[in-house]
Amino acid sequence: MKSLLKLGLSINNLSGLIPKTIGNLTELKLLYLYANQLSGPIPRELGKLKKLNELLLSDNQLTGPIPSELGNLKNVNYLDLSYNQLSGSILSELGNLKNLNYLALSDNQLSGPIPSSFGNLRNLQFLFLGNNNLIEEIPSSICNLTSLTVLYLSINNMKGKFLHCLGNIGALRFMMMSHNYLSGEFLPSICNLTLLKFLNLGRNNLKGSIPQCFGNMSGHLKGLDMQHNNLSRSEYMFLELRILDLSCNDFSRNLPTSLFQHLKAMRTIDQTSKEPSYLRDLYYYDSVTVSTKGLELELLRILTIFTTIDLSNNKFEGYTPSIMGDRIALCVLNLSHNGLQGPIPQSLGSLSSVESLDLSGNHLVGEIPPQFASLTSLEVLNLSYNHLEGCIPQGNQFHTFENNSYVGNDGLHGFPLSKDCGSDGHDSTSEKNYTGSALDEESNSEFLNDFWKAALMGYGTGLCIGLSIIYILISTGNMKCLERIVEELEHKIMMARRKKQRRQRNYRRRNNRF
């Protein structure tokens, strides 16, 4: 056994402590124990494995501090201790592991600052420290990591100014620093990152404007999440964006038509592939967090067809640009809680892929465009608290929406509201034409379709989409977290589906009485 080179016992429901005798396997190069139920501390004896190249202990129940002896593993290039219950500070000794290519300490209970010694890890490409209790400022030595491709520091207690020198990390493609206390201006140096695909600085205290130089990044930036900051201006040059979240800021004035003119990536739907494709690169998966009714669901991998615009909770005014209807690839559109005026553009009825549409909390007037009845992908509709009037469109998915989709519009009538359209509209006629065969047409394939729709945008109102990156390497096969999320989602979707079927049965009974 002492000559053993590889030991892989991952995904086996192993429990108990990691035996200290593993330290006797001095020839070991690969040690995979991830996705089990191992508990207790990480044995200090692992520091004896001087020839170790890869150490994967993620997704267990390990506790206690990271042993300083791991700093002796000078040959290790892949170290993953994420998804455990490790505590204490991040040891500066880890900065001695100069061959490290991948370091994941995220989703633990680590505290204290990021060691400045991390600036010595010049070969590091993936750094995941998110979802801990890290404090103080981001050390400027991080900017020495010029090979870094993914930087994940979200969900900590980091403070201080946004580092100007981060613009020197030319290889960076994914930067996630959301849910911290970063402050100051959004610096133009970020525009030097010519390979950047996803930027998530949401839920910080940044202020000022999105720099005009963002136009230079428009050909490669796919996702921008700046929600819950204090930003007030932008030049809106986002040609290739598929996910844009500027919600809960201080943007004001008229909703700019130029924003939607430049979102050319949302104008086309790729019909060339029958199988879903994903926005992924190198060895990591992307993820998106969906918030609905106070529940946050983290969904691994972002479908390339998934596109979203969230400009809610700002101070935008004026009319809703009709050009928005040209963004036919759009899946989620949230313009709620602004000061938008005028009618709902009929062109929004061309958003054939839209699954969630929220225009609530504005000053919109007129009727709901009848073209909305053709939006058969629509699962969530919220038009509440406007000044809309007339008959609610009927047919297709409109028979699944409840009163809360329309509350606060005293001039609306028709199903599901108590006010009937009567002779002024076509409500009762369209209800009778809504046949039982359409209601009963449910199959397993439809359920799977509903499942992925729900996985992308959730059931409910008030969506607030944000970006974050999850760091599961294909080579590790770590699927336990994904399976757990899917199981939870499946349960919620089954409950929502049963609720929908009950509404449809009640609707048929109502028709039979006529």
Tell which wins on pLDDT, 327 or 402.
402
Predicted pLDDT at 447 = 38
Q: Give pLDDT tens digits for 341-357.
A: 999 999 999 999 999 99
What residues does 17 pair with on adjacent strands?
39
Q: Could you tell me the CATH number of the domain that includes residue 24? A: 3.80.10.10
Q: What is the pLDDT of residue 422?
A: 65
For residue 110, the 8-state DSSP code is: E
CA distance 300 to 116: 31
Residues 282 and 140 in one domain: no
Q: In this predicted structure, which of 83-92, 183-192, 231-240, 261-270 has the lowest mean pLDDT? A: 261-270
Q: Is residue 155 part of a domain?
A: no
- Count of beta carbons in the 10 Å neighbourhood of residue 165: 14
As given in the structure block, the two tokens for residue 63 are 């506790």
Q: Does the pLDDT of residue 129 top 60, yes or no? A: yes
pLDDT at 51 over 70: yes
Contact 202, 245 (CB under 8 A): yes
Confidence of residue 498 (pLDDT cuts 50, 70, 90): very low
Domain co-membership, 281 together with 427? yes
Q: Of the residues 125, 147, 169, which one is the last residue of a structural domain?
A: 147
Does residue 220 form part of some domain?
Answer: no
Which is more confidently placed, 131 or 476? Answer: 131
Q: Which of 12-21, 160-169, 218-227, 303-312 has the lowest mean pLDDT?
A: 303-312
The stretch 120-134 carries a mean pLDDT of 97
pLDDT for residue 126 is more than 50: yes
Q: What pLDDT is stored for residue 268 in this prediction?
A: 62
pLDDT band at 295 (very low <50, low <70, confident <90, very high): very low
Token pair 């000053």 in the structure block, residue: 363
pLDDT in tens, 376-425: 999 999 999 999 999 999 988 899 999 999 999 999 999 999 888 864 44
Residue 510 placed within a domain:
yes
| Closest of 411, 438, 416, 467 to residue 291, by C-alpha | 467
Residue 245 domain-assigned (yes or no) = no
| Residue 329 pLDDT class (50, 70, 90 cuts) | confident
Given a cut of 50, is residue 218 above it in pLDDT?
yes
- The residue ranking higher by pLDDT, 142 or 284, is 142
CATH of the domain at 372: 3.80.10
Q: What is the mean pLDDT of residues 265-292?
A: 45
On the question of pLDDT at 315 being above 90, the answer is yes
126 shares its domain with 272: no
Residue 476 DSSP code: G
Average pLDDT across the chain, whole number: 80
pLDDT for the residue numbered 2: 79
Does residue 240 fall inside a structural domain?
A: no
Task: From 147, 167, 188, give the residue that closes a domain.
Answer: 147
DSSP summary character for residue 75? T
- Looking at residues 123-140, what average pLDDT do you find? 97
Which range of 117-131, 325-339, 429-443 scores highest in mean pLDDT? It is 117-131
Burial grade of 492 (CB within 10 A; 0-12, 13-18, 19 or more): middle
Separation of alpha carbons 14 and 39, rounded Å: 10
Mean pLDDT lowest for which of 12-21, 265-274, 501-510? 501-510
Does the residue 182 lie in any domain?
no
- What is the domain count for the chain? 2
Confidence of residue 374 (pLDDT cuts 50, 70, 90): very high
Q: 496 falls in which pLDDT band (50, 70, 90)?
A: low
User: Domain for residue 117, yes or no?
Assistant: yes
d(CA 202, CA 263): 21
- Is the per-residue pLDDT at 439 higher than 70? no
Residue 449 and residue 165: Cα distance in Å, rounded? 45
Residue 217's pLDDT is 83
Q: Which domain holds residue 488?
A: 268-293+320-328+338-514
Other beta carbons within 10 angstroms of residue 68's beta carbon come to: 13
What pLDDT shows up at residue 290? 43
Q: Average pLDDT in the 146-159 region?
A: 97
Percent of the chain clearing pLDDT 70 (strictly above): 74
Residue 177 clears pLDDT 70, i.e. is over it = yes
Give me the mean pLDDT over the 93-120 stretch. 97
Domain boundary among 92, 114, 147: 147
Q: Regarding beta strands 285-292 and 466-470, do their DSSP bridges make them parallel or antiparallel, or are they unpaired?
A: antiparallel
Residues of the chain above pLDDT 90, percent = 61
| Average confidence (pLDDT) over 181-200 | 92
Statement: residue 70 has pLDDT above 70 = yes
Residue 270 pLDDT level (bands cut at 50, 70, 90): low
Spell out the SS3 assignment of 114-146: CCHHHHHCCCCCEEECCCCEECCECCHHHHHCC
Q: Name the helix (H) or strand (E) containing 243.
A: strand 243-245
Token output for 56: 């994967």
Average pLDDT over every residue of 434-448: 37
CA–CA separation, 260 and 482 (whole Å):
34
Supply angle C-alpha 69, 72, 76, rounded to 5: 115
Q: Is residue 153 part of a domain?
A: no
Confidence of residue 55 (pLDDT cuts 50, 70, 90): very high
Q: What is the mean pLDDT of residues 271-277?
A: 40
d(CA 368, CA 374): 13
- From the list 19, 7, 25, the residue with the least C-alpha distance to 44 is 19
